[in-house]
Structure 1
Amino acid sequence: MTAVRTSHTHAQAVDAAIELFSRQGYEQTTVEEIADVAQVSRATFFRRYRSKEDVVFADHELLLEEVVVMLAATRPDALDDGDLPEGSWDPATDPYLEVCRAARLVFDHHVGQRETSLARYRLLQQVPILRDRELVTTHRYERLFTKYLRDTLPPDRSSTVHSIAFAAGVVAVHNAMLRRWLRNPDLDLRPDLEEAFAELRRGATADLERRRDLASGAAALATTAANADGARVVVAYLEPGAGTDAVVRAVRDALT
């Protein structure tokens, strides 16, 4: 029950701040006015939100906590004793998919709070300091996703650079789709978001497979050309020791 009341209180404070900023202006609105509309004391306001710009994104504090719990449940060390050796990789878990699921949760939160999201978007266009605060929130999601990937991908697939790149890609795709929705909230962009995330996952998996082949010295590269009759011809360049899987992947990539 405490979590529900806290969530409701946060929602009240967010809505109160956005409404007052939109109507009176950011600089003209005082903390006392926001606290009064949100039905909390001035001391409680500062204990919970610290500043005027923080209260605009107070709902994301709860959402970040939810994302942390969601991702933590899929880490190997969260499994029951006896399921897997400590620190080992659970093949049933796809960390890329879990990060995308977490990003979808954030997207659904915006869509589910339609009026608040639209009002906040309009407000951010007018107040530069709030846009800066939004960037801070975005970077927190990105850092959370990066750390999860670094900690959860198996050793032969994990690298800091790769984890950073995938996390940044997920956040960038989410933000691009969200901006499209905010400009036209009648659109249903969930299918587009799903496909974009699937494309990111395919790219990440293919990149790791290529790097693993190169590292093992068993790489294959294929390209296509056309013969005199116009038929497609696949030409493969093989490193010594290239296995069948590497050749098949190279030919498949060339054909697609």
Structure 2
Amino acid sequence: METLRERKKRRTREALVRAALELFTTQGYERTTVDEIAEAVDVSQRTFFRYFAGKEDAAFAVQEMTEAHFVAAVRARPPHEPPMEALRQAMLEGWDDIRETVEAVVPVELYLRMYRMIESTPALLAAHLRRSAATEQTIAGLLAEREGVDVDADPRPRLAVAVFAGVIRVTERQWSTGDDFSLAAIRSLTAAYLDQVGPALTGNWRAA
């Protein structure tokens, strides 16, 4: 049961995230200061640093929450599922929770605006790639543990995660630049693009 103090801290953190993302996407990441974020929530700079090490942490706060949900979903998949199927089902069945996680903190529209800003801002894109690599390493370790293989000696866990992560990046990019931001749309795109992995890797693209 969340205490009153815990609830207040959570709400302050979420307010700082919303303010940060709104400022980043309207006036630019580099031009936004910690003082402006804190002022938007009517708290001190010191309070901001109680929750975040800096602007980068605030920029990726929602993304970190969604990634944590996905890692937990992979960990919870039945042990008999093949690795790629476990990743697929963790993502497809987890979109409801992921969207709820996002909407509990920021509107989906703001989340998508921030996603596009990350891709177009060199400093944020570099941080995104670094953070994504760390998450992919965690998931590769989970797959290796599930399958009883050594993640450092057997390349398959990292290969599977690299392929899967690439598909998800393409899916999210397509979804974020489209017209339908519904849960059904992202789930449909995810399933369709994952279904194309085999043919894309092994098929003849020039065949009729």
Aligned to 1:177: 171
Q: If each structure's strand is expressed as a fraction of its own residues, which one has the higher value?
A: 1
Q: In the aligned structure 2, how far is the partner of 1:5 from the partner of 1:65?
A: 22
CA-based RMSD of the aligned residues comes to 3.4
Q: What letter is aligned with 1:100?
A: R
Q: Of 187, 190, 195, which residue of structure 1 is paired with 2:187?
A: 190
Contact kept, 8 Å, 1:99 with 1:145, in 2: the verdict is: no
Distance 1:149 1:198, change over 3 A: farther
Distance 1:6 1:164, change over 3 A: farther
Task: After TM superposition, give the deviation of residue 56 of structure 1 in Å.
Answer: 0.9
Contact kept, 8 Å, 2:38 with 2:48, in 1: the verdict is: yes
Distance 1:52 1:178, change over 3 A: same
Contact kept, 8 Å, 1:96 with 1:149, in 2: the verdict is: no
Task: After TM superposition, give the deviation of residue 154 of structure 1 in Å.
Answer: 4.2
Structure 1: tracts of 5 or more residues without a match: 76-89, 204-256
Higher relative CO (Cα under 8 Å, sequence separation at least 6) belongs to 2
Contact kept, 8 Å, 1:67 with 1:102, in 2: the verdict is: yes
- The answer on 1:137 being equivalent to 2:125 is no
Q: What letter is aligned with 2:56?
A: E
The aligned length equals 187
Q: Helix, strand or coil: the match of 2:193?
A: helix
- The answer on 1:58 being equivalent to 2:65 is no
TM-score relative to the length of structure 2: 0.71
1:99-248 paired onto structure 2 within 5 Å: 99-104=87-92, 105=94, 108-109=98-99, 113-155=107-149, 160-186=154-180, 188-198=185-195
TM-score relative to the length of structure 1: 0.60
Contact kept, 8 Å, 2:71 with 2:139, in 1: the verdict is: no
Q: Helix, strand or coil: the match of 2:155?
A: helix
Q: In the aligned structure 2, how far is the partner of 1:102 from the partner of 1:117?
A: 21
Q: In the aligned structure 2, how far is the partner of 1:117 from the partner of 1:4?
A: 22
Q: In the aligned structure 2, how far is the partner of 1:111 from the partner of 1:47?
A: 22
Task: After TM superposition, give the deviation of residue 22 of structure 1 in Å.
Answer: 2.9
1:24-54, Cα deviation, whole Å (9 max, x unpaired): 3333321011122245432232232211122
Structure 2: tracts of 5 or more residues without a match: 200-208
Q: In the aligned structure 1, how far is the partner of 2:102 from the partner of 2:67?
A: 16
Distance 1:114 1:134, change over 3 A: same
Aligned to 1:98: 86
Task: After TM superposition, give the deviation of residue 60 of structure 1 in Å.
Answer: 2.5
Q: In the aligned structure 2, how far is the partner of 1:37 from the partner of 1:72?
A: 38
Aligned to 1:12: 15
The percent identity for this pair of structures is 27
Q: In the aligned structure 2, how far is the partner of 1:69 from the partner of 1:46?
A: 27
Task: After TM superposition, give the deviation of residue 175 of structure 1 in Å.
Answer: 0.6
Aligned to 1:72: 75
Q: In the aligned structure 2, how far is the partner of 1:151 from the partner of 1:64?
A: 19
Q: In the aligned structure 2, how far is the partner of 1:126 from the partner of 1:154?
A: 40
166-175 vs 93-102, which moves further = 93-102
Aligned to 1:206: none
- Bigger-Rg structure (1/2): 1
Q: Helix, strand or coil: the match of 1:160?
A: coil
Aligned to 1:43: 46
Aligned to 1:237: none
Aligned to 1:247: none
Distance 1:152 1:127, change over 3 A: same
